[in-house]
Structure formats: C-alpha cells, structure tokens
C-alpha cells in the first residue's frame, strides 16, 4: 500500500519536472520569436536551454532511476554541462554584440556595461 503511494508521488514529481521543462522550452521559443533585440532574445534562449532542458533531463533521470534502477551518468553530465555552458555562452554572445555596437531597444538609455569598461580601463 505504501509502495503504491510512493510510486504515485514519484511519478507526479517526474511529470512535474517534464512539464516545467516543456513550459520553459515553449516560452523560450515564443520569446525568441517575439522579443525585439538580441539581448532579450538571448535571455529567452538561455532560460529555455538552461531551465527547460535541465527540467526534462532531470525528469528523465528520475524516471530511469526509479522505474529501471539505472543511474545514467550521461544524463547527469549533460545537466551539469548545460547549467555551466549556457549562461557563459549567452554572456559571451552579448559581449560580442555590445562590442560590435548593437544597441538594445529599450527605454533605458544608460549603458552600464560601457561605463564599467571605461572605469576598468
């Protein structure tokens, strides 16, 4: 009796992870299509890849571990790799866009990154 309740709760956690991951991938995809400039699109793409794929991979890892007693090192490495590389790559792309001179479409006309570069030079 208790084992069936535990299985039901674990399956609910797996479904929640998969649904959250799918939600972030979908919302990130919509954000990439709808946002006006590269900086906001990078924000949407990074959220989609970091939170979305991590949620889906965590759900897959839990499913394999609970249902089949398989500990997938590849899934764990993929989660760690995504969590480490996606924000760094988005930061580097935004720095390159700023260096080339791409201006953000925003009401805030203050460029804090340019001020920080001038202060550190």
pLDDT tens for 23-48 read 999 999 999 999 988 888 999 999 98
Q: How far apart are CA 28 and CA 35, in angstroms?
A: 10
Which has more confidence, 106 or 104?
Answer: 104
Residue 108 has pLDDT above 70, yes or no: no
For the residues of 46-108, what is the DSSP string, one character each? HHIIIIIHHHHHHHHHHHHHHHH----HHHHHHHHHHHHHHHHHHHHHHHHHHHHTPPP-SS-
- The mean-pLDDT minimum among 2-11, 25-34, 52-61, 75-84 falls in 2-11
Poorest-pLDDT segment among 2-6, 49-53, 78-82, 85-89: 2-6
**Angle value at C-alpha 93, between 99 and 26, nearest 5 degrees:** 140
Residue 113 or residue 97, greater confidence: 97
Range of the domain at 86: 2-120
What pTM, to 2 d.p., does this model score? 0.82
Gap between the Cα atoms of 24 and 33, Å rounded = 14
Query: In total, how many domains does the chain have?
Result: 1
């Amino acid at each position: 009796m208790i084992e069936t309740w535990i299985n039901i709760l674990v399956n609910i956690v797996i479904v929640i992870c998969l649904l959250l991951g799918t939600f972030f991938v979908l919302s990130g995809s919509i954000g990439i299509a709808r946002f006006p400039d590269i900086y906001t699109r990078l924000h949407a793409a990074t959220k989609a890849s970091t939170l979305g794929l991590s949620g889906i991979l965590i759900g897959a890892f839990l499913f394999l571990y609970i249902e089949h007693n398989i500990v997938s090192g590849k899934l764990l490495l993929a989660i760690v790799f995504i969590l480490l590389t996606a924000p760094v790559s988005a930061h580097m792309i935004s720095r390159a866009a700023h260096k080339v001179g791409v201006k953000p479409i925003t009401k805030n006309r203050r460029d804090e990154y340019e001020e920080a570069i001038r202060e550190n030079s």
